[in-house]
């Protein structure tokens, strides 16, 4: 997290707390049921916790999620621009990245860019998010 702006770091800590505690049950229900992730998830985070993620640019949201992944699971977010894929990875065995993919997917769905989650086999430590349009 060295080099991360203090405001981004503070929001990342708060988002990690929210995802791991406040929203984990909601996100688990979506992932188990196989339903599409709702665009409303990002609005729920905005309303209940005041982070205003829906008002951020895609670059800001990706930086925020990357920082939160570093905090929560020593993970990272990578963007493959040529294939329009975001890859989320956890380096902690007991921490999965699927909840983070749901938050990120909800943000992009809310922004009109349809996401599709692709899991790497049964490995919950690496998840890819393919977007329908390039990130502006």
At residue 35 the predicted structure's pLDDT band, cuts being 50, 70 and 90, is low
Terminal alpha carbon distance of the chain: 25
pLDDT in tens, 78-114: 999 999 999 999 999 888 888 898 899 999 999 999 9
In the structure encoding, which two tokens stand for residue 52, read together? 């205003």
Whether 2 has a pLDDT exceeding 70, the answer reads no
Q: Which region, left, alpha or beta, applies to residue 68 given φ > 0 means left and ψ of -120 to 50 means alpha?
A: alpha
Strands (E), the chain: 76-80, 85-89, 115-120, 123-131
Encoded tokens for 77: 């977010």
Cα–Cα distance, 12 to 66 (Å, whole number): 8
Domain boundaries, the chain: 6-131
Where residue 121 falls among pLDDT bands split at 50, 70, 90?
Answer: confident
Question: Higher confidence at residue 1 or residue 6?
Answer: 6
């Amino acid at each position: 997290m060295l080099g991360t702006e203090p405001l981004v770091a503070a929001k990342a800590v708060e988002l990690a707390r929210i995802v791991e505690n406040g929203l984990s049950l909601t996100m688990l229900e979506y992932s188990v049921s196989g339903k599409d992730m709702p665009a409303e998830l990002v609005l729920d985070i905005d309303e209940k916790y005041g982070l205003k993620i829906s008002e951020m640019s895609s670059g800001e949201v990706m930086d925020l999620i990357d920082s939160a992944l570093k905090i929560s699971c020593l993970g990272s977010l990578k963007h493959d621009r040529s294939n329009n894929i975001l890859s989320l990875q956890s380096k902690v065995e007991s921490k999965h990245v699927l909840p983070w993919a749901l938050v990120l997917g909800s943000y992009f769905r809310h922004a009109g860019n349809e996401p599709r989650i692709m899991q790497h086999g049964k490995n919950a430590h690496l998840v890819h998010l393919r977007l329908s349009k390039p990130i502006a």
